[in-house]
Amino acid sequence: MKRLPPLPALHTFLVTAQHCNFTRAGQQLHITQGAVSRQIAALEQHLGYALFQRQARGLSLTREGQDWLPRVQQVFSLIEQGVREVGGRSATLQLKAPTCVMRWLLPRLMEWQALRPDVPVELTTTVQHGVDLRREGFDAAVVYGDAPNHGLRVRKLFDEQLTPVCAPSLRQGPLPLQQVEDLARHMLLHPSRDEHDWRLWLQAAGVTLASQGPKQHFETLDMAMAMAAQGTGVAIGDWSLIGDDLRGGRLCMPFALKVMTGKGYYLVSQAKGLPPGLVELLDWLEGQAGL
């Protein structure tokens, strides 16, 4: 029987096939472009045929490479599944979540670790709103957007509900916020560059501001909320995520209107084969969202 190809070389092939570029594959693998090229060449020599066609503008898979790719993906998927299932209760759970949900999630994970130090959790934050559990190696993830539908177990945490928020001192200051038109006299804080959230809320309120004062954009919701809490201006935020700030008096709602966007936050995991500690964590987070 022919000697099997080495596993590291197969992993290099998988990453290179995803990018069709030696340089980007090397960046992901933290090795040089030349090292990637040499590993692929050695694998091709071992197999006896080419896996990639070298072209002036990049790479493309040969017919043999196209046949190999789904098989290699399946191999690494089975390995990842084995790591998850065999690790049992003692393994650190790997959780992924977008930065926009950190204001709600992080305090609850800290509370979970105090309650259950025997079930440690490692959190990875990202600006991405989705996840591919088969390829990314996470046990579970919080995702934002429409309800996922990819054969996963999905638990809805809450709907997105937009509403303006500010520091109590700003609401009661020399330019009080008594009606929506008063927003024209305050700095509007945008949690994204596209200003979509503010436009959506103002449209639902039936108001077009005759004039707008200064505005400031942020890369994350958390940064916008932090500036609002300092009295800098009025931010638009997700009511579901800032309950702790409202209850603690760091922020207040100058207007009662909350606008449903149709999007939501969901907790996703594989449908079966989950370690008991993960099931307990997901059940607990789902319960926290309902409080």
Per-residue pLDDT tens for 234-250?
Answer: 999 899 898 889 999 99
Amino acid letter for position 77: S
CA-based nearest residue to 277, from 96, 109, 89: 89
Q: How many residues comprise the chain?
A: 291
pLDDT digits (tens, 9 = 90+) for 67-84: 999 999 998 888 877 766
Q: Which residue has the tokens 């520091």?
A: 167
**234 touches 255 (CB < 8 A):** no
Residue 85 has pLDDT above 70, yes or no: no
Q: Does the pLDDT value for residue 222 go beyond 60?
A: yes
Q: Which residue has the tokens 């029987």?
A: 1
Which class for 284: exposed (0-12), middle (13-18), buried (19 or more C-beta within 10 A)? Answer: middle
Q: Give the model's confidence band at 89: pLDDT under 50 very low, under 70 low, under 90 confident, else very high.
A: very low
pTM value surpassing 0.75: no
- SS3 of residue 161 by DSSP: strand
Residue position matching structure tokens 């049992």: 88
Percent of the chain predicted with pLDDT > 70: 95
**One-character DSSP codes across 196-239:** HHHHHHHHHHT---SS---EEE-SSHHHHHHHHHTTS-EEEEET
Average pLDDT of the chain is: 88
Of these ranges, 27-36, 70-79, 191-200, 279-288, the one predicted with the greatest mean pLDDT is 279-288
Amino acid 143: pLDDT: 92
Q: pLDDT per residue over 112-135, tens digit each?
A: 999 999 899 999 988 788 888 878
pLDDT score at 100: 85
CA distances, 197 to each of 44, 163, 262 (Å): 51, 9, 12
